[in-house]
Structures are given as structure tokens and as C-alpha cells.
Structure 1
Amino acid sequence: MSGNAGGPQGQRSGRFLGSLKDALVAASREDTGRQEAAVKLAAAQASEGATVAVPGPDAAVQLPPPRGEAATPSAAEAAREARTPRVTVESRHVETDSPPTTRVVRAAGKPSQDAPQRTTLVRGKMQVTRGAFEHDPVVGWLVVVGGPGIGQFRPIFEGNNSLGRASSNRIPIDFGDDAISSEEQAYIRYDSAERSFLFVPNLAKTNVVSVNEKRPTGAVELAQMDVITMGRTQLVFVPFCGADFDWSALQEQS
């Protein structure tokens, strides 16, 4: 038995066991190298702030692809990418040649230097040219501040104006106040030469009139915001013509 162990068969058995031992040592070295590479890779990625799982000794180490080369996706990533629709320029209908939404419209040609400007600066009083009157010119107003017709107004014309309830009067005070005489209860006169207003009561009438709560017995000059009382109606005098303006001034300029 001991002689057979030292014969050719024993030598072949020793060589086989030696080769198997060398193979195991080599495999152990290869596994150790793979794990050391994985640990180095994990340390490098951890230094960059990434969370890395260190593979075990039996796991295959997958090194990152060289720079400039795309990584090959796994089967799960390829399936997920196939199920996710991609948004392309065609699907969003982006038209790079479409006109802008806001357009600037410019006038054709250059503006002429002789053409008048759109905005004109006016200083001082404007020159007004007087034409022919189609109606009697207004020189002031009577505004109703009390009684029937409050808030209404009546214009005062140049010359002599009769006041009464009937529409035949030049200034009809027809707001339903029966205490006002129907015809010519009073007069308001505007004198363009003197540029003054006069209130003249009709003393032949029994209806009482007053100016600023005073009953005149003759002509009295009216001033701005004087109050005329006729029956139950109070009227405020508002002049338009006067010392600062008169229609005759326009005729003198023309």
C-alpha cells in the first residue's frame, strides 16, 4: 500500500490535488480583487454624496462606463422607457416660424414736416369766431332750488325776458306751482351795453315776488347767486355774460 502511494498513480493524484489547490487560491484572489474594487468604487461615490450599496462577495461588480459612452440600460429600464411616452417638438406643435402675437403698426412713409401735429399746445385765451345766431344767445340761467321742479333750470336770453307759468313767456316757470301768475309776473332784462342784469316786478299783478327775501317796488340789479322767490318756488340766478364776457366781444374780433 505504501509502495503504491509512491508510484505513478500517487504522483498523478498529488499533481491533481496541487492543481485544484492552485485553482482555489486563484479564485479566492479573484473574488478578493472584485470585492476590493467594489469597496473602492463605493468609497469614491460616497465621497460625492451618493448612497451606495456595497455588493457581497458573490455579486458581480458593474463598473461605470467610460466617459463619452452611454450606459447600457437593463431590461426593466428598457421596458419602463418603452411604456413612457416621449415629448418631442412635433407633439408640442412648436412653430418657430409663426408670427408674434403683438404687432407694431407703423405709418407708411416718413411724416412730413409741414403736416400739423396731432397734439397742439394752446396757451392763453383761444380766439373764437362768432357766426350768425340760429337761436337767441344765452346770457345766464335760473336754477330751481326750492318748490315744484327743484333741480330744473331755465335759460335767460339777451334782451327782455318775461317770467310766468304759461309757455308763452320767454322764461316759462311751468313746474306746477299755481301761485305763480300765468302771464308776465316779472321780467329779467340783460343790457349788453352795460353788461348788467335787472329784475323788474310787474306791479300790476297781485302775486308777490321777492329778491333775497326783499319785495322790490322797482327794478333791482341782480348779482350772482341771488335768490328770486315766486309763489312757492325759489330760483337762483347764475349769470354767464357780464363784466368778463359778452357775445358782442366775439363780433368785435371777427
Structure 2
Amino acid sequence: MSNDKTKWIFDNDDDTSSNLDSDFTESIGAETIGTTDVGFDDPTQVSGDDETTRLMPSNEKTQIFLPGQSGATAASVNYDDLQDPVVGWLVVVKGPGLGQSVPIGVGMNTVGRDTSSRIALDFGDKMISGEDHARIIYDDDSRGFFIAHGTGKSITKVNGKMVATTMPLENYDVVEITKATHLRFVAFCNEKFDWSDLADKG
């Protein structure tokens, strides 16, 4: 029938369908990337603009690069480059900021409400002094933590005992900064680990 609207489907004069089959068959075979023929049985490479991008190197050791660094720069990084690594935390277990944590660094840590304090407790308790309410110290030589009273007017207590002089701070001690805000001390560094151990091992 000359006016059959479906006649073109069976029309062999147009080889478009064969071209489509050919193109489709070629597209699922090996494809050329740059100067390298890569098939789908090689999951380590995908095509880039003009070069091959490796996804899963099978014969190379895993390398971990720090953010913003790569190649030779990353390889040259050592543990002496660590800036103010965390050695422990204070976790709010009572009062404003309940469930929040703040990190403790090496050396002297002033505790205060102001964001300028090394340990800033700006969760809303106005009874916490703006600066130097208390001081928490980590001595990396002895790997010990200590707490001392600062210049704030509020009394600081550890496990219910007033901090009048510098005293040791033990893991999981409760620090009562004010009557409203209590903190649980959690140590990361101790006699079993300090960041200097990584430097010693190279």
C-alpha cells in the first residue's frame, strides 16, 4: 500500500537503522582515549578531555593527601607541621549548649565566654567570665592534664571540689564552670598516645 503510514519501517532503501545498529554496537566496545584503547573490562580508566583519568589504581599503594596538597608537596608534609592538634575535649553535660563539645589544645587553654578564648563557651551562660574564667593545661612532656582557677569571679569545681590551686584533671572528670554549666572532660592524648609518637615513628 503506497499510502501506508508505516511503510517507512519496512523500507530497505534507507539504511538508517543499520547505521544505528552499527553505531550502537561500536559504542559498547573498546573506545579510544587519547592514545590508549580502553575497554569496559578495565574499570581503572575513564575518558577525559585529552587524557586518561585513573579511578582505581590496581598496582599502586594508597596515598593519603591533605586538603589542598598533592604530589610532591603532600609527600613532604610531616608531623612537625601540625598546627594546634586536639588533645582532648570538654563536653557540655548540663546547661546551655547541652551536648556540644569544644576542643582542648596543647599547652595553656584559657576558658571563657568570649570567642577570643582558646576554649570558648559561648552558649549563653552569662555567669561564665568573658575571658580567663579558668585554665586547662596539657603538658605534652608528662602527658598530663591540669586545671587552674583563672581571674573570673565564679568558683570552678571538679567533681564537687573547688579549684583553688592547680590540680590534675583526670579523664571523665566533671568540671563545674558555673552552677548552670557542667562539662565532662574527655582526654584524647594520654600515656598511651601523644602526637609526638607519630613524629618519632617518622
Where does the alignment leave 5 or more consecutive residues of structure 2 unmatched?
39-56, 64-76
Task: Determine helix, strand or coil for the equivalent of 1:131.
Answer: helix
Deviation at residue 158 of structure 1 after TM alignment: 0.7
CA distance in 1, matches of 2:184, 2:61: 38
Alignment partner of 1:88 is 2:10:
yes
Residue number among 113, 116, 120 corresponding to 2:61 in the alignment:
120
Comparing both chains, which one has the higher relative contact order based on Cα–Cα distances under 8 Å and sequence gaps of 6 or more? 2
Cα drift, residue 105 of structure 1 = 4.2
Deviations 1:4-50 (A, max 9, x none): xxxxxxxxxxxxxxxxxxxxxxxxxxxxxxxxxxxxxxxxxxxxxxx
In 1, the alpha carbon distance for the partners of 2:2 and 2:86 equals: 89
Where 2:22 maps in the other structure, the secondary structure is coil
- Distance in 2 (CA, whole Å) between partners of 1:244 and 1:236 is 21
Q: Deviations over 1:108-148 (max 9, x none)?
A: 279xxxxx7456379xxxxx831334x43322222223322
- TM-score between both structures, scaled by the size of structure 2: 0.61
TM-score of the superposed pair, with normalisation by structure 1: 0.50
From the CA coordinates, give the structure whose radius of gyration is larger: 1
RMSD: 3.6
Equivalent pair of 1:129/1:253 in contact (CA under 8 Å): no
SS of structure 2 residue aligned to 1:99: helix
Please give the alpha-carbon distance, in whole angstroms, between the structure 2 residues aligned to 1:164 and 1:97. 73
The 5 Å alignment of 1:191-230 reads 191-202=139-150, 205-230=152-177
Quick one: distance in 2 between partners of 1:221 and 1:103?
Answer: 69
Q: Give secondary structure in 1 for the equivalent of 2:196.
A: helix
Work out the percentage of aligned pairs sharing the same amino acid.
35
Q: Number of paired residues?
A: 163
5+ long unaligned stretches in structure 1: 1-80, 111-115, 123-127
Change (3 A) 1:189 1:99: same
Q: What is residue 154 of structure 1 aligned with on the other side?
A: 102
Number of the residue aligned with 2:117 = 169
- Structure 2 residue identity aligned to 1:230: I
Specify which structure has the higher proportion of strand.
Answer: 2
| Structure 1 position 178, deviation (Å) | 1.2
